[in-house]
């Protein structure tokens, strides 16, 4: 690192100018960053589940829709129906909206002298009580509308808004729909839900979180720096490091047209917490050199030479920890990992080059040199730590074993949860709207069953009908609609609307005739459920918003019914948002295992090489393995699920947590080489590096604790658990690691020096 220190001193002004210039350029692009929160955006393009979803959307459309629900004492009254009609017309005019289906424009199938006719259910809005009652009787006696389009108590109705299948972003039309719907509230209540709405709400909340949390974490960060260093440079330089890393990272994302995701909201806060660590250690060593009497330039050279290698190793292992998340199959996690790794690399470079370059031009007063000597409370505290690890290491090992056992006992309780609504608090308007629509109409999302085969084949149609009737008995699946539903309705209409005749036709000729009647009466009548060549059909179920385990259970039951009713004779695929959500759960578990193994192995290799000791590398890894085990133990006992955010904590704990152990190991090696006594070397290590580690830990923990104020429960869990893992990482580095190092060495002196 001596060459680096010489380079920094020689080109200090050039380094400062370069950093300032790039920061100004990247700052321009920061304002152009966008936020993206769609479920489909979490997957790679080649994922077969996503390809199946996109294929179904191309064939039938209607995979992306939202539901407006209007609630009143009586929906079927003239005033309310006029409101629904006007609202429907306004919604149809919004760009990006492909179709709007409501009570006032929905079609019905009726028999006539020439066969059937498809016409609007409500041709004219009733104006008298008698007309209203007649309409109510027609609607409530038809299960095609009752329970799906209008609630059975006639106090709520749904308006389905389908977006164009080629629409890349539903954000703008969703916002316009909200504005239009707002003007129709009173006395009726209006609820708006569906995946596009939930995504929009997530994006809006994410923006609010960024503007709310970042200033707060910066304020806490500044306070901790002041309490730690008691000098202006000790505040401004770490603050500059994190701000520069944030600006460069966000600016680079905007420059590359990469939006922030639902978990990237934590990126600025994470960089504040993590990116400051390297500068804190540099400044701590600078102050130590100044306290020893070194001048500014000499202090800079000594700091880079002695602590620079530890900072470099810590930075590399942190980058590796986050980089291990690139093994995830989820794009959202992979991109977050790359962005964070880039930001940490920037913070590392700023700490090693920019901060010392600035420090070389700072005149240090004698009063500030004196302040670098630290306070007596910390000195006494770390003296107690040294006495514990050097004389009572068995106590440390006992506590560690107990923590591991308790954590392992709880691990079988861990479970994944990727339901999108869990990103919102239970009392949020988003979750309330979804719950009410689920209760009234059986769901605001769909599960789609795609069947390959000639629909005119009576055998296939019979199997579809039996499957459809059986699947609706599964908890969470409601209101199926398909070509079976339409053919049953046609058969009933052709037989005097006799309810007993609501059955499927039984011959190929009859099926063909009914399909012809449907296509002649309305060219788009069968389009949502049957392809033009009549070789691919869709059965669409409404599905309630449920926990991940219940979704998986429902999908397993659907798969079993498919096997029972279609066997291997027909090709059947299951798709829809619930399938995508379930796939996220599967990928999370697989990615979690891959990233943890990769991060620990890579960390072991890097620390062993750079510390020039396999044993020291193993000791460092033991501290982070303890952290990972405790993290999962706490999650299991507190019933915190594995989700998009919490699944990353283990790898983050490896990347960040190992830093504390690296600084202890490198300083111990330096002290051991000069003191030639393992106990005296560890005593000095704990006193000097322990202090910098403590400052660093406080900054990191406080930064992640700010995430507890987030409006997203997964981000709240992420912040709290990551803060906890930092406590465990710091504690294991200051207690467990020294105990391991001093397990065998004998003191060359007859006593252990007391401070």
Residues 82-136: tens digit of each pLDDT: 999 999 999 999 998 999 999 999 988 888 767 788 888 898 899 888 988 888 8
Q: What is the pLDDT of residue 542?
A: 92
Whether pLDDT at 469 is above 90: yes
Find tokens 């804190």 and name the residue: 280
Residue 715 CB partners (closer than 8 Å, separation 6+) = 209, 263, 265, 266, 645, 707
| Closest alpha carbon to 464 in 477, 444, 443, 449 | 449
Q: Give 50-96 as a DSSP string.
A: HHHHHHHHHHH--SSEEEEEEE-S-SSSHHHHHHHHHHHHHHHTSTT
Q: What is the pLDDT of residue 363?
A: 58
| Closest alpha carbon to 685 in 608, 753, 621 | 753
Q: What is the pLDDT of residue 168?
A: 63
Superfamily of domain 2-32+200-413+582-754: Multidrug efflux transporter AcrB transmembrane domain (1.20.1640.10)
Instruction: Indicate left, alpha or beta for 700 from its phi (over 0: left) and psi (-120 to 50: alpha).
Output: alpha
> Edge to edge, what strands does the sheet with 189-193 contain?
97-101, 156-163, 65-71, 189-193
Continuous segment of H or E residues that includes residue 111: strand 107-112
pTM of the model: 0.77
Q: Which residues does residue 71 pair with via DSSP β-bridges, in sequence order? A: 156, 189
Topology of domain 57-193, CATH:
Alpha-Beta Plaits (3.30.70)
| Closest alpha carbon to 463 in 571, 391, 364 | 571
Neighbours of 126 (CB within 10 A): 17
Residue 709 in tokens: 């104020």
Instruction: Kindly report which listed range (27-41, 47-61, 428-442, 732-746) carries the lowest average pLDDT score.
Output: 27-41
Strands (E), 564-681: 571-576
Residue 620 CB partners (closer than 8 Å, separation 6+) = 603, 604, 607, 611, 658, 661, 662, 665, 737
Q: What is the pLDDT of residue 367?
A: 42
What does the pLDDT average to over 665-683? 85
Distance, CA of 285 to CA of 307 (rounded, Å): 7
- Give the phi and the psi of residue 363 in degrees, each rounded to 5: -85, 125
529 — pLDDT class (breaks 50, 70, 90): very high
> Looking only at Cα atoms, what is the longest distance across the chain?
113
- Give the phi and the psi of residue 246 in degrees, each rounded to 5: -65, -50
With contact defined as beta carbons under 8 Å apart, do 726 and 701 qualify? Answer: yes
Residue 572 in tokens: 């059947």
With contact defined as beta carbons under 8 Å apart, do 348 and 315 qualify? Answer: yes
512 — pLDDT class (breaks 50, 70, 90): very high
Instruction: Kindly report which listed range (213-222, 385-394, 485-494, 642-651) carries the lowest average pLDDT score.
Output: 642-651
Using the 8-state DSSP alphabet, how is residue 231 labeled? S
What does the pLDDT average to over 683-699? 86
CA atoms within 13 Å, Cβ hemisphere of 384? 5
Residue 4 in tokens: 């680096």
Using the 8-state DSSP alphabet, how is residue 155 labeled? S
Distance, CA of 260 to CA of 188 (rounded, Å): 37
Residue 201 CB partners (closer than 8 Å, separation 6+) = 424, 428, 429, 430
pLDDT in tens, 76-93: 999 999 999 999 999 999
What does the pLDDT average to over 477-490? 92
Distance, CA of 706 to CA of 716 (rounded, Å): 9
15 — pLDDT class (breaks 50, 70, 90): very high
| Closest alpha carbon to 355 in 221, 243, 223 | 243
Distance, CA of 170 to CA of 745 (rounded, Å): 65
What does the pLDDT average to over 511-526? 84
Distance, CA of 622 to CA of 736 (rounded, Å): 9
Residue 476 in tokens: 């969470």
Q: Give 179-215 as a DSSP string.
A: HHHHTT-SSSEEEEESHHHHHHHHHHHHHHHHHHHHH
Helix axes 331-349, 267-291, angle to 10 degrees: 20
Instruction: Kindly report which listed range (91-100, 343-352, 472-481, 703-712) carries the lowest average pLDDT score.
Output: 703-712
For the chain, give the number of residues.
755
Cα→Cα distances 128→141, 237, 594, 616, 674, Å: 20, 76, 67, 87, 100
Q: What is the pLDDT of residue 37?
A: 63
Q: Domain locations in the chain?
A: 2-32+200-413+582-754, 57-193, 432-575
Using the 8-state DSSP alphabet, how is residue 352 labeled? I
pLDDT, greater one: 526 or 754: 526
pLDDT in tens, 600-646: 888 888 888 877 889 888 998 899 899 999 999 999 999 888 877 78
With contact defined as beta carbons under 8 Å apart, do 14 and 302 qualify? Answer: no
Q: Which residues does residue 477 pair with via DSSP β-bridges, in sequence order? A: 543
Q: What is the mean pLDDT of the chain?
A: 85
Which of 315-329, 343-357, 602-616, 733-747 has maximum average pLDDT?
343-357
Whether pLDDT at 663 is above 70: yes
Instruction: Decide whether 2-32+200-413+582-754 matches 57-193 in CATH topology.
Output: no
Cα→Cα distances 21→26, 32, 248, 251, 362, Å: 9, 19, 11, 13, 21
Residue 680 in tokens: 């005296």
Residue 223 CB partners (closer than 8 Å, separation 6+) = none
Using the 8-state DSSP alphabet, how is residue 640 labeled? P
Q: Which residues of 74-99 are buried (b: 16+ CB within 10 A; e: fewer)?
A: ebbbeebbebbbebbebbeebebbbb
Whether pLDDT at 370 is above 60: no
Q: What is the pLDDT of residue 738?
A: 93
Q: What is the pLDDT of residue 754?
A: 43
Residue 586 CB partners (closer than 8 Å, separation 6+) = none
What does the pLDDT average to over 263-286? 80
Continuous segment of H or E residues that includes residue 427: none
753 — pLDDT class (breaks 50, 70, 90): very low
Q: What is the pLDDT of residue 575?
A: 94
pLDDT, greater one: 739 or 330: 739
Determine the distance from the C-alpha atom of residue 523 to the mean position of all C-alpha atoms in its chain, rounded to a whole number.
42
Instruction: Kindly report which listed range (68-82, 169-183, 200-214, 363-377) carries the lowest average pLDDT score.
Output: 363-377
pLDDT, greater one: 656 or 730: 730
Whether pLDDT at 373 is above 70: no
Q: What is the pLDDT of residue 91?
A: 95
Using the 8-state DSSP alphabet, how is residue 749 labeled? S
The sign one gets for the Cα dihedral 590, 593, 596, 601 is negative
What does the pLDDT average to over 692-709? 84
Residue 592 in tokens: 């979690």
Radius of gyration for the alpha carbons in the chain, expressed in angstroms and rounded: 32
Cα→Cα distances 316→285, 593, 605, 653, Å: 20, 21, 12, 14
């Amino acid at each position: 690192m001596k060459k680096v220190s010489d380079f920094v001193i020689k080109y200090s002004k050039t380094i400062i100018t370069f950093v300032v210039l790039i920061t100004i350029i990247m700052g321009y692009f920061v304002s152009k960053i966008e936020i993206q929160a769609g479920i489909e955006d979490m997957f790679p393009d080649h994922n077969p589940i996503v390809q199946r979803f996109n294929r179904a959307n191309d064939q039938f459309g209607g995979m992306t829709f939202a539901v407006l629900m209007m609630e009143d004492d009586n929906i079927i009254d003239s005033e309310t129906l006029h409101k629904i009609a006007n609202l429907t017309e306004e919604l149809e005019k919004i760009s990006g909206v492909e179709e709007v289906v409501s009570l006032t424009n929905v079609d019905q199938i009726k028999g006539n002298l020439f066969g059937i006719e498809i016409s609007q259910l409500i041709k004219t809005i009733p104006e008298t009580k008698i007309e209203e009652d007649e309409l109510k009787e027609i609607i409530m006696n038809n299960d095609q509308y009752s329970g799906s389009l209008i609630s059975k108590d006639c106090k709520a109705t749904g308006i389905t808004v389908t977006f164009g299948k080629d629409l890349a972003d539903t954000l703008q039309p969703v916002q316009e729909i909200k504005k239009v719907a707002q003007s129709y509230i009173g006395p009726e209540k209006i609820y708006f839900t569906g995946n596009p709405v939930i995504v929009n709400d997530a994006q809006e909340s994410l923006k609010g979180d960024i503007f709310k949390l970042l200033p707060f974490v910066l304020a806490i960060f500044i306070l901790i720096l002041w309490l730690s260093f008691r000098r202006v440079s000790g505040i401004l330089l770490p603050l500059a490091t994190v701000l520069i890393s944030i600006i460069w990272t966000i600016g680079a994302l905007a420059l590359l047209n990469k939006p922030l995701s639902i978990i990237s909201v934590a990126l600025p806060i994470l960089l504040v917490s993590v990116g400051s660590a390297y500068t804190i250690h540099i400044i701590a060593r600078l102050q130590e050199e100044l306290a020893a009497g070194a001048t500014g330039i000499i202090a800079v050279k000594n700091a880079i030479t002695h602590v620079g290698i530890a900072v470099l190793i810590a930075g590399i292992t942190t980058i590796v920890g986050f980089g291990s998340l690139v093994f995830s199959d989820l794009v959202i996690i992979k991109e977050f990992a790359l962005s964070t790794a880039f930001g940490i690399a920037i913070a590392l470079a700023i700490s090693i080059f920019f901060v010392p370059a600035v420090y070389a031009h700072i005149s240090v007063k004698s009063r500030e040199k004196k302040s670098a000597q630290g306070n007596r409370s910390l000195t006494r505290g770390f003296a107690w730590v040294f006495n514990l690890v050097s004389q009572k290491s068995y106590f440390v090992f006992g506590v560690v074993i107990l923590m591991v056992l308790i954590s392992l006992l709880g691990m079988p309780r861990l479970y994944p949860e990727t339901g999108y609504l869990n990103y919102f608090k239970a009392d949020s308007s988003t979750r309330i709207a979804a719950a009410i629509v689920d209760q009234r109409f059986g769901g605001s999302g769909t599960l789609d069953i795609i069947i390959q085969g000639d629909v005119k084949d009576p055998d296939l149609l019979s199997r579809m009908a039996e499957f459809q009737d059986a699947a609706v008995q599964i908890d969470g699946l409601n209101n199926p609609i398909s070509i079976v539903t339409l053919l049953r309705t046609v058969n009933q209409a052709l037989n005097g609307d006799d309810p007993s005749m609501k059955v499927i036709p039984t011959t190929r000729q009859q099926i063909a005739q009914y399909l012809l009647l449907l296509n002649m009466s309305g060219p788009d009548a069968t389009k949502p459920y049957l392809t033009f060549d009549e070789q691919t059909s869709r059965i669409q179920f409404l599905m309630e918003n449920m926990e991940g385990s219940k979704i998986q259970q429902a999908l397993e039951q659907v798969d079993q019914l498919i096997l029972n009713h279609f066997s291997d004779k027909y090709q059947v695929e299951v798709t829809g948002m619930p399938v995508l959500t379930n796939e996220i759960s599967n990928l999370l578990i697989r990615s979690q295992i891959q990233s943890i193994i990769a991060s620990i192995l890579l960390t072991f290799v890097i620390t062993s090489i750079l510390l020039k000791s396999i044993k020291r590398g193993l000791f460092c890894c033991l501290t982070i393995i303890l952290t990972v085990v405790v993290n999962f133990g706490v999650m299991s006992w507190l019933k915190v699920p594995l989700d998009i955010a919490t699944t990353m904590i283990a790898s983050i704990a490896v990347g960040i947590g190992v830093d504390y152990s690296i600084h202890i190991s490198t300083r111990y090696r330096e002290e051991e080489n000069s003191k030639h006594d393992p106990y005296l070397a560890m005593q000095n290590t704990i006193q000097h590096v322990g202090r910098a580690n403590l400052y660093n830990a406080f900054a990191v923990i406080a930064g992640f604790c700010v995430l507890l104020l987030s409006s997203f429960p997964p981000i709240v869990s992420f912040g709290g658990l990551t803060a906890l893992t930092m406590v465990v990482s710091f504690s294991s580095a200051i207690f467990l690691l020294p105990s391991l190092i001093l397990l065998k060495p004998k003191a060359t002196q007859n006593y252990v020096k007391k401070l």
